[in-house]
Amino acid sequence: MNSLVRASKQALQNAARSYASRGAGGERDVVPRKVAILGAAGGIGQPLSLLMKMSPHVTNLALYDIAGTPGVAADVSHMNTIAKVKGFAGEDQLHEALEGSDVVIIPAGVPRKPGMTRDDLFKINASIVQGLIKACGEACPKALLNIISNPVNSTVPIAAETLKAMGVYDPKRLFGVTTLDLVRARTFYADAIGVDVNSVDVPVVGGHAGTTILPLFSQARHQGQAQKELSAEEIDALTKRTQDGGTEVVQAKAGKGSATLSMAYAGALFADSCLRGLNGTAQTSEYSMVQSEVTSCPFFASKVRLGPSGAEEILGLGELNELEQKGLDVAIAELTASVEKGVKFAKDGSL
């Protein structure tokens, strides 16, 4: 695993001990940063709120939802970490929640349920995301926007077109959060070869749905001695499991939820990287869906170097093997269609 992700994991996992000392009068050189979470009372939003309250890079945490957020805010505000927390509920408080934000994380929307396709999600979530993005464009046009709301393959272009229409679009500041795909690929790969997951790095590019998710196991790296070499069949199985990870969780929860906890963890990792980039931390990079010329698709997830202005460099895909190239062709075709669907909705409201 690359040093950034390892550092992010360590920061989150060791938070209670290290942040408590700061709250008691320890370090004073923290850069003031405000993070807003839109959808903070939901299945992803609540654990995400907890994790961001644990971040050493957050000094002001605004939690927004249509209802329930004052209680969530009161709950996490009791944690002895440096972030000051306030809950906001209802549309009349949305602007106040967003004003002055450096990073806005958007998990708002309905979760996927058994039998629900990502097209079903699109019909419900597209309008929610568009309304929230309009508010961001008005209240905090310079914030880094982290889109979690599914289907990400369409909600990211919806956000872009909405901001363009407002005259405040900056492609360097809009991100689709695909980190969960990397978290899964690294976990599954480490388990398969028998190494410490903290030593593993597996690039995952493309999109954030089904076959648009393309783990590049030919470029996987790990430290230490692997217990086994994987066959082509095992790599294929790992690829499919990574692509179907969300469905695996939905089925396991038997209609009572989706991948909320792991998504919150992945969202916190990515937001933490954005904050490190804003603060000028050297070599801060992550994989994310951004406006891109890496492929023919106008939005594509690949490795991005983060900095004070957002996505400061978009890196290429590296060398792909034959199977990965075939997978890339499939991913681009499907992802392009999803992007076009999002653009169409943003422009005329049609599905």
116 is an annotated ligand-binding site residue: no
pLDDT in tens, the chain (351 residues): 454 445 445 555 544 344 333 333 344 478 999 999 999 999 999 999 999 999 999 999 999 999 999 999 999 999 999 999 999 999 999 999 999 999 999 999 986 666 777 677 778 899 999 999 999 999 999 999 999 998 999 999 999 999 999 999 999 999 999 999 999 999 999 999 999 999 999 999 999 999 999 999 999 999 988 888 999 999 999 999 999 999 999 899 987 888 999 999 999 999 999 999 999 987 789 999 999 999 999 999 999 999 999 999 999 999 999 999 999 999 999 999 999 999 999 998 876
> Does the annotation count 208 as an active-site position?
yes
Q: Do 319 and 201 belong to one domain?
A: yes
135 is an annotated ligand-binding site residue: no
Q: Do 269 and 307 belong to one domain?
A: yes
Q: Do 138 and 253 belong to one domain?
A: no
What single-letter amino acid sits at 319?
E
Q: What are the residues whose beta carbons fall under 8 Å from the beta carbon of 297, sequence distance 6 or more? A: 332, 335, 336, 339
Q: Do 159 and 37 belong to one domain?
A: yes
CATH number of residue 86's parent domain: 3.40.50.720
Specify if 27 maps to a domain: yes
Q: What domain range includes position 93?
A: 3-178
CB 234 within 8 A of CB 200: no
118 is an annotated ligand-binding site residue: yes
Out of 132, 151, 178, a domain closes at: 178
Out of 163, 178, 193, a domain closes at: 178
CATH number of residue 305's parent domain: 3.90.110.10
Instruction: HSE, CB side, 13 Å, CA atoms: give it for residue 264.
Output: 23
CB 269 within 8 A of CB 177: no
Specify if 172 maps to a domain: yes
Specify if 75 maps to a domain: yes
What is the DSSP annotation of 69-130?
HHHHHHHHHTS-SS-EEEEEESGGGHHHHHTT-SEEEE--SPPP-TT--HHHHHHHHHHHHH
CB 275 within 8 A of CB 83: no
Out of 178, 210, 226, a domain closes at: 178
What is the distance between the alpha carbons of residues 88 and 74, in angstroms, rounded to a whole number?
Answer: 11
Question: Could you give the number of structural domains in the chain?
Answer: 2
DSSP at 167: T
**Which of 57, 78, 95, 208 is an active site residue?**
208
Q: Do 11 and 145 belong to one domain?
A: yes
194 is an annotated ligand-binding site residue: no
